[in-house]
Structure 1
Amino acid sequence: MPATTEPLIVHEHDVEAVPLPGGGSFLLLEDGRGTAGLLGVNRLVLPAGADGTRPHHHTLSTEVFHVLDGVMEFLVGGTVTRVGRGGLVVVPPGAIHAFGASAEGPAGFLAVLTPGVERFAYFRQLGRIARGEAGWESMDGLHDESDVHFDGGPDWR
């Protein structure tokens, strides 16, 4: 991938919000296009006790999570760990991980994926599924192109 030569600035009014049930949302900040594939960035806000994803791994990218609000629960290395506001989780390629908000209250994080993979279509479709507007089979094909490979069912905690 060619390196970007221009700085990237994303203003709040340019951020796409994908609504999720219970007041959650994906905030789509950068999916690699504006950085020539260097990184992708999104923010996820989840209501209390909501899962963000089931166990999965990425073959190409490292994923970095910075908890901004509340307490998140992360499955990494076969262990569920609670990470509060200000905490950081770094997941290298191939490491199986999952995450969700703790039962105590809503939580959210900033996620950085490097190198960046174009994943906005993936997050939009997850939003449709979560809102009952589409079925899980609508994700066929999106998993591989988004470098998301599932390693277990939804019951991880």
Structure 2
Amino acid sequence: MPRNPQPLIVHAQDAEEVPLPGGGRFRLLEDSRATCGLLGANRLVLPAGADGTRPHHHRLSTELFYVLDGTMEFLIDGALTAVDKGGLIVVPPGMVHAFGAAAEGPAEFFAVLTPGIERFGYFRQLGRIARGEAEWDSMDELHDRYDVHFVGGPQWR
């Protein structure tokens, strides 16, 4: 059990924003430090048809997604499904998943990983890769540290 977790309030203006191509962006809300490892949380906006991630799994964390706007496409354990605004997805540890915005328009979701692992460095690096400032292989040494384990190639839809 985490030691001495305290209430956490993150105001919109205090959240770090990581820009992505096409108007997408990460909003980094909690990196598990303030919650003593209870959870990590972020918000992601993706332009129409943009992939959010390649197929991967987490060995340690459950991941919860809540679709705030638009339609997200999820690959979960080999099945592709569309989830509209207001939909909730929970992916247990070890289950392969990927996600992206549907082709019809941009999408936005809120994600929570529990237990939390400090992943803001991972999201910052993904932003650099997406903007062409770093190569994909720069992630190779980060998989275990951030509990993100990719399977297969970059294309999944």
The answer, yes or no, to whether TM exceeds 0.5 is yes
In 1, Cα distance between equivalents of 2:4 and 2:46: 32
Cα displacement (A) at 1:122: 0.4
Q: Structure 1: 5+ residue runs without aligned partners?
A: none
Kindly, what percent of the aligned residue pairs are identical? 75
TM-score (norm 1): 0.97
Give the C-alpha shift of residue 132 in structure 1: 0.5
The TM-score normalised by the length of structure 2 is 0.97
Give deviations 1:16-68, integer Å, cap 9, x for gaps.
00000000001000010010000000001000000000100000000000000
Match of 2:109 in 1: 109
Q: Equivalent residue for 1:72?
A: 72
Counterpart residue identity of residue 19, structure 1: P
Moved over 4 A (4+): none
| Counterpart position of 2:96 | 96
How many positions carry a matched residue from both structures? 157
Unaligned ranges ≥5, structure 2: none
User: What does the per-residue CA deviation read over 1:104-145, in whole Å, with 9 as the maximum and x for residues that have no partner?
Assistant: 000010000000010000000000000001111221321110
Alignment of 1:111-130 (within 5 A): 111-130=111-130
What's the counterpart of residue 21 of structure 1? 21
Question: Which AA in structure 2 matches 1:57?
Answer: H
Report the Cα distance in structure 2 between the residues aligned to 1:61 and 1:122, rounded to whole angstroms. 15
Distance 1:144 1:114 in 2: 16
1:41-52 correspondence to structure 2 within 5 Å: 41-52=41-52
**Residues 3 and 35 in structure 1, CA contact (< 8 A), matched pair in contact too:** no
